[in-house]
Amino acid sequence: MALLDGKTALITGVANRWSIATGIARAMHAHGARLSFTYQGERVKDEVEKLAAELGGAPSWSCDVTSDDELRRLNDAVARELGRLDALVHSIAFVNKEDLAGKVYDTSRSGFSLALDISSYSLIALVSALKETLSDGASIMALTYLGSGAIVPNYNVAGIAKAALESIVRYLAYDLGERGIRVNAISAGPIKTASSRQVKGFSGMVDAVAAAAPLKRNVTADDIGNAAVYLASDLSSAVTADVHFVDAGYHAMGMWMNA
């Protein structure tokens, strides 16, 4: 059963074929969605355009989310080529590598501002730019992580940025609710991506989660994609302002008995 027939989606944050956003794109395409993509810079352009070609020849546009002019141009392109948006996937985050190790009190003012601008405020910026192109009843989702509300060593300012992102999700859900637009976050378990490997000790985190999680495994980008399809579909028509955990149950563990 195709859950997204007739729906259009804009997916941000694809970096390569291992990206969580790639898993979301493949799942949405499998369920009939018409896709579009953004990319930031020439470094990932080829990867995004290759994926777009594989998934129905989807259009893709360059967009630096720190530029209001580029966001306005993105909205113009989406309106011109797609007409409307039924789903928006925010999978954008950036933190300086030196801020993903050591002590959080050593985070520079500029590093903090950069992390919050790209990882958190960008959701507000995208919604503001696209609000007239988003359909009434559309679904917006953002990718977050457990480190937003619990200590994950070395995640540091990235966790602070995710906490801000989750708060933004709730306030946007309230502001857009009168249009029937739903806004949710997906809290994904640790997945080996280019960005996650920047976190010091990440490989050990992956092993620890697989051992402790109730399902005794790690999640995949496909698992996240399936959840995104649900949130983009009419099956979740009354679900908003929520953080949806897809982490094999790890977030519920208060203690792990290694026995």
Which residues are catalytic, by number?
Answer: 145, 155
Rounded to an integer, what distance in angstroms lies between the CA atom of residue 131 and that of residue 127? 5
* Residues in contact with 61: Cβ distance below 8 Å, sequence separation at least 6, in sequence order: 36, 37, 38, 39, 73, 74, 77, 78
Rounded to an integer, what distance in angstroms lies between the CA atom of residue 116 and that of residue 122? 8
Residues making up the chain, counted from first to last: 259
Going by DSSP bridges, is the β-strand pair 85-90/8-11 parallel, antiparallel, or unpaired?
parallel
